[in-house]
Amino acid sequence: MKVDWLIVGAGFTGAVLAERIASQLGQKVLVVDRRNHIGGNAYDFYDEHGVLVHKYGPHIFHTNSCKVWDYLSQFTEWRPYYHRVLASVEGKLVPVPFNLNSLYALFPPKYAERLEEKLIRTYGFGVKVPILKMKETDDVEMRFLADYIYRNIFYGYTLKQWGLKPEELDPSVTGRVPVYISRDDRYFQDTYQAMPKHGYTVMFQRILAHKNIKVLLNTDYREIAGEVYFNRMIYTGPIDEFFGFTKGSLPYRSLRFEFLHLSEEWHQNVGTLNYPNEYDFTRITEFKRLSGQVCPGTTLVVEYPEAYDPVVNEPYYPVPREENQSLYRLYKELAQKELEGRVIFAGRLGDYRYYNMDQAVARALTIFSEIGGR
């Protein structure tokens, strides 16, 4: 088989680039994936009870990018959805990101009011403050609050999720869920927040449904060496694996999922409940809250973070530490030196960077603009 492009990985990055190259440049693309489905970690399906579930944990779409929103809207209708999360803290369920409503759920009313006034006076209303920055305050009362939030919201969850303390990770990790000095209980505040009306898999099917695109599943790209001839490659797998780990293995974190079906209409009041301090798992998500389905029973997924082992699980999260970035840069330099642009590395594993779904799409569109400009 002869194609213009071989794309390894059928997730957001690979699928969007395949569609752009096929539809805009009129070139032939082969998309190869080791898994038995398209969609990468966003893959969803109907379980035996008829509930639309996400195989690799909940994926909530949100973006501030009109460009990304308009692009994906060509391939899906949307169901408006605002994700809300509660965390179990000292026996109470409180909104996260931690906000002014959380204060009143945890502290006596007069003290909560005092803390609210001081937060607004110190930082302003509608401001998002990273917890590690808040811990730097010299004010005794603000320091108490910062330590309380750190201990009850961030520390245990981060330790379970990453196997590291918050201070041992890049500040961007804790910065992703800041203290929000607001009454807004939504987990995200992006301009566009919605779920694909018919699910992510249907959206991916439409993205890849072009005559110039062929998809090959259950296949490692190395298995077809000598059978498929291509001019250039886009590789969205782990960059260290591509080079045979010659510089060492990049660290990742993984997840284990336990799916539960209950014979009740609803089990939780919100889409996700976080458990920062209790149990081995980090969160439980109820899928019907995400999809808006009306059907008997409800399906939940419980997430257990775990160390990555290439034999038993999948690499989900690059571990954001400077020493890991240094190792990644060695692989990036190796790619530039040996491949001379014939292979483009992209995506969460190829770039060794945590991307939200919209960021993965934006990255793919940027790469395509660079390709199309040559």
- 204: pLDDT strictly greater than 70: yes
Query: What is the pLDDT, as a whole number, of residue 338?
Result: 86
Query: Strand ranges (DSSP E) for 146-196?
Result: 179-180, 192-196
Query: What is the pLDDT, as a whole number, of residue 340?
Result: 79
Query: What is the pLDDT, as a whole number, of residue 185?
Result: 95
Query: What is the pLDDT, as a whole number, of residue 307?
Result: 95
- CB atoms near residue 14 (< 10 Å): 31
At 121 the three-state DSSP class reads helix
Is 55:44 a contact under the CB 8 Å cutoff?
A: yes
Mean pLDDT value of segment 50-60: 97
Bridge partners (DSSP) of residue 78 are 196
- Closest to 250 in 3D by CA, of 305, 308, 306: 308
Phi/psi of residue 235, nearest 5 degrees: -115, 120
CATH 3.40.50.720 fits 2-38+208-249+319-372, yes or no: yes
Which pLDDT band holds residue 333 (cuts at 50, 70, 90)? very high
Mean pLDDT value of segment 24-37: 97
Parse the chain into domains and list their residue ranges.
Answer: 2-38+208-249+319-372, 85-180
Which pLDDT band holds residue 373 (cuts at 50, 70, 90)? low
Query: Strand ranges (DSSP E) for 160-291?
Result: 179-180, 192-196, 213-216, 229-235, 252-262, 272-274, 283-286
- 175: pLDDT strictly greater than 80: no
Mean pLDDT value of segment 106-123: 96
Is 316:41 a contact under the CB 8 Å cutoff?
A: yes
Q: What tokens appear for 178 in the block?
A: 């800041």
Which pLDDT band holds residue 210 (cuts at 50, 70, 90)? very high
**Greater pLDDT, 167 or 58:** 58
124 dihedral zone (left: phi>0; alpha: psi -120 to 50; beta):
left
Q: What percent of the chain shows pLDDT beyond 90?
A: 92
Bridge partners (DSSP) of residue 88 are 93
The CA distance from 282 to 275, in Å, is 5
Mean pLDDT value of segment 64-73: 98
* Cα–Cα distances in angstroms (integers) from residue 141 to residues 89, 147, 191, 274, in the given order: 20, 10, 34, 26
Which pLDDT band holds residue 193 (cuts at 50, 70, 90)? very high
Phi/psi of residue 247, nearest 5 degrees: -100, 0
Residue type, 76: T
- 374: pLDDT strictly greater than 60: no
Query: What is the pLDDT, as a whole number, of residue 174?
Result: 74
Mean pLDDT value of segment 222-246: 94
**pLDDT tens per residue, range 17-30:** 999 999 999 999 99
At 309 the three-state DSSP class reads coil
* Cα–Cα distances in angstroms (integers) from residue 196 to residues 52, 61, 62, 148, 202, in the given order: 12, 8, 11, 37, 9
Mean pLDDT taken over the chain: 95
Angle 154-160-244 (CA atoms, 0-180°, nearest 5)? 120
Mean pLDDT value of segment 298-314: 95
**pLDDT tens per residue, range 122-165:** 999 999 999 989 999 999 999 999 999 999 999 999 999 999 99
Mean pLDDT value of segment 76-93: 97
Which pLDDT band holds residue 341 (cuts at 50, 70, 90)? confident
Residue with tokens 């899928």: 287
User: Is beta strand 192-196 parallel, antiparallel or unpaired with respect to 78-80?
Assistant: antiparallel
- 274: pLDDT strictly greater than 60: yes
- Closest to 241 in 3D by CA, of 321, 173, 304, 314: 314
